[in-house]
Chain A
């Protein structure tokens, strides 16, 4: 099966996505910003539509548009501290509004369906190069900002006293979220994108370990999710997005059930 180039492309892209998404997702989840991920994922569809409309690479279109939306959310969050949920609705409406308007106009140069549900057939060499470049830059940036991102998430006051430029880094982080989303969009699709960002992290948190272990575990779970999703979707001939999301839920459930079972046996042994 790996003889097919499209399959190789899809597999490589999967690995990149599986590493990048939890690296970004862990900070989103721990800051209780999972909904921002979801909002931006939906907004990215507008970027895709704009790309398909103007002839720009849709992944690039998604990256640029999502970055702008991320920065907008960051800005509005500062201005309207107590209405974050409303801000998300506004940005989501803006994104989905633009997307539906463009897609329904019938003037796109290619179909947008593949971006809704994800598709392994559409990952071209060019896409792969773009995905690899964005992933590399994003993962390196997370590595560079690791302690700062961690402290902003864990104890923002302390970060500020230490002279961390919290606002600036929040903007940089918005761009990183946009990276993760636009990288994943080809394969996983807009609709279940947030599952790639939050489900592996949610499963890793269940382990009840420190930050680094949780991060590494979420990468492992994410790899499991996407490889299961890819294999399942190829086998069944369905879109990989849906199946990856199902794999994510399944892995999370297995971890939760496993944790309880393990505790039970320990209790029995102790008692």
Chain B
């Protein structure tokens, strides 16, 4: 799913390297947490994977059909932009269907990527009924409520239109379901700028899950979210990873969450990075 090979990078394209000789292979279905100190280049690595930046040397390839991305929290994003939560999600759904051109970055199109096209908005399991309506979910609490709804995949496109988005008539229901998942049904008509930081973060997570991505790239998804909200988010992510095999790459400062939830940990320091199991990492932390 992700294949980084001997990657060197600095913003000036010259030494000193911010990322030096990074290699990272992520198979489908893994949940990787990326940890490291402030400024160790975690967000930069994600931006390389997303194709916003080009490696100075080496390669960073992503073979995903659809990526859901939650950027690192910036209080500035959209704070003074006149747009409602609904509009943010609605236009996103509309654009899901417009993906004609190749996405940015050197995407490896493996066999998985090719066959997965038809999976987009495929007919859903039978229990996906209008029970996703906000009133049915609004009262649900905790991880069960947040995780049970799936990820807005309850859309049906006949014949698996390649890269197609949801039909317009289904979008409002999709949005309701997406917001219900993060317990924000009541904020549908709110301005993005009027949300609290944590609520904003949850909207971005709900958005990332629209369009049934096969890879989630998250940059500190729980920053600014209250403890119970954090628990919900991690249980939710873990559930997506366990039950749907969604591949997750998440930058974390919440080390407990990283150790508890991820299948592997990518530890970055001084421009280098190595992969280890959560248990090894916990030991390293205690030892250090």
Given the interface contacts A210-B82, A210-B83, A210-B84, does A158 sit within 8 Å of B69 by beta carbon?
Answer: yes
Given the complex of chains A and B, what is the CA–CA distance between A98 and B244 in angstroms?
63
Contact flags A137-175 to B (C-beta < 8 A → 1, else 0): 000000000111011011101111111110000000000
Given the complex of chains A and B, what is the CA–CA distance between A153 and B92 in angstroms?
13
Cβ A161 vs Cβ B78 within 8 A: no
Given the complex of chains A and B, what is the CA–CA distance between A196 and B69 in angstroms?
37
For chain A, the count of residues having a C-beta within 8 Å of the partner chain is 27
Name the one of B52, B82, B101 contacting A157, with C-beta atoms under 8 angstroms.
B52
For chain B, the count of residues having a C-beta within 8 Å of the partner chain is 31
Q: Determine if A224 is an interface residue (Cβ-Cβ < 8 Å).
A: no
Cβ A161 vs Cβ B87 within 8 A: no
Given the complex of chains A and B, what is the CA–CA distance between A159 and B91 in angstroms?
10
Q: Determine if A30 is an interface residue (Cβ-Cβ < 8 Å).
A: yes
Q: Which residues of A contact B88 (CB under 8 A)?
A: 154-155
Q: Determine if B110 is an interface residue (Cβ-Cβ < 8 Å).
A: no
Q: Determine if A208 is an interface residue (Cβ-Cβ < 8 Å).
A: yes
Q: Which residues of A contact B78 (CB under 8 A)?
A: 154-155
Name the one of A146, A162, A205 contacting B92, with C-beta atoms under 8 angstroms.
A162
Cβ A148 vs Cβ B82 within 8 A: no
Name the one of B67, B83, B98, B189 contacting A161, with C-beta atoms under 8 angstroms.
B67
Cβ A161 vs Cβ B69 within 8 A: yes
Q: Determine if A125 is an interface residue (Cβ-Cβ < 8 Å).
A: no
Q: Which residues of A contact B99 (CB under 8 A)?
A: 162-163
Cβ B82 vs Cβ A205 within 8 A: yes
Q: How far is the CB of A200 from chain B (nearest CB, A)?
A: 13
How many A-B pairs fall under 8 Å by CB? 79
Q: Determine if A266 is an interface residue (Cβ-Cβ < 8 Å).
A: no
Q: Determine if A209 is an interface residue (Cβ-Cβ < 8 Å).
A: yes
- Given contacts A160-B50, A161-B103, A211-B87, could you give 19 more A-B pairs where the C-beta distance is less than 8 Å? A30-B82, A147-B91, A147-B95, A147-B98, A148-B95, A148-B98, A157-B50, A157-B52, A161-B67, A162-B92, A162-B99, A208-B191, A209-B191, A210-B86, A210-B87, A210-B191, A211-B81, A211-B84, A214-B82
Cβ B95 vs Cβ A160 within 8 A: no
Q: Determine if B41 is an interface residue (Cβ-Cβ < 8 Å).
A: no
Cβ B92 vs Cβ A151 within 8 A: yes
Q: Which residues of B contact A162 (CB under 8 A)?
A: 92, 95-96, 98-99
Cβ B95 vs Cβ A151 within 8 A: yes
Given the complex of chains A and B, what is the CA–CA distance between A18 and B84 in angstroms?
25
Query: Which one of B50, B69, B102 has the greatest number of beta carbons of chain A within 10 Å?
Result: B69
Residues of B within 8 A of A (CB): 50-52, 67, 69, 71, 77-78, 81-84, 86-88, 91-92, 94-96, 98-104, 163, 189, 191, 207
Q: Which residues of A contact B81 (CB under 8 A)?
A: 30, 153-154, 211
Given the complex of chains A and B, what is the CA–CA distance between A192 and B102 in angstroms?
41
| Chain B residue with Cβ nearest A218 | B82
Given the complex of chains A and B, what is the CA–CA distance between A154 and B52 in angstroms?
17
Cβ A160 vs Cβ B96 within 8 A: no
Given the complex of chains A and B, what is the CA–CA distance between A210 and B89 in angstroms?
13
Q: Is the interface of B mostly helix, strand, loop or mixed?
A: loop
Given the complex of chains A and B, what is the CA–CA distance between A165 and B82 in angstroms?
23
| Chain A residue with Cβ nearest B51 | A160
Given the complex of chains A and B, what is the CA–CA distance between A212 and B191 in angstroms?
12
Cβ B91 vs Cβ A150 within 8 A: yes
Cβ B50 vs Cβ A164 within 8 A: no
Q: How far is the CB of B183 from chain A (nearest CB, A)?
A: 21
Name the one of A147, A154, A163, A212 contacting B102, with C-beta atoms under 8 angstroms.
A163
Q: Which residues of B contact A210 (CB under 8 A)?
A: 82-84, 86-87, 189, 191
A sample of 22 cross-chain residue pairs with beta-carbon separation below 8 angstroms, ordered by A number, consists of: A146-B91, A147-B91, A147-B94, A151-B92, A154-B81, A154-B83, A157-B52, A157-B71, A161-B50, A161-B69, A161-B103, A162-B92, A162-B95, A162-B98, A163-B99, A163-B102, A164-B95, A164-B98, A204-B82, A210-B83, A210-B86, A211-B83
| Chain A residue with Cβ nearest B70 | A158
Q: Which residues of A contact B94 (CB under 8 A)?
A: 147
| Chain A residue with Cβ nearest B104 | A160
| Chain B residue with Cβ nearest A217 | B82
Given the complex of chains A and B, what is the CA–CA distance between A255 and B86 in angstroms?
26
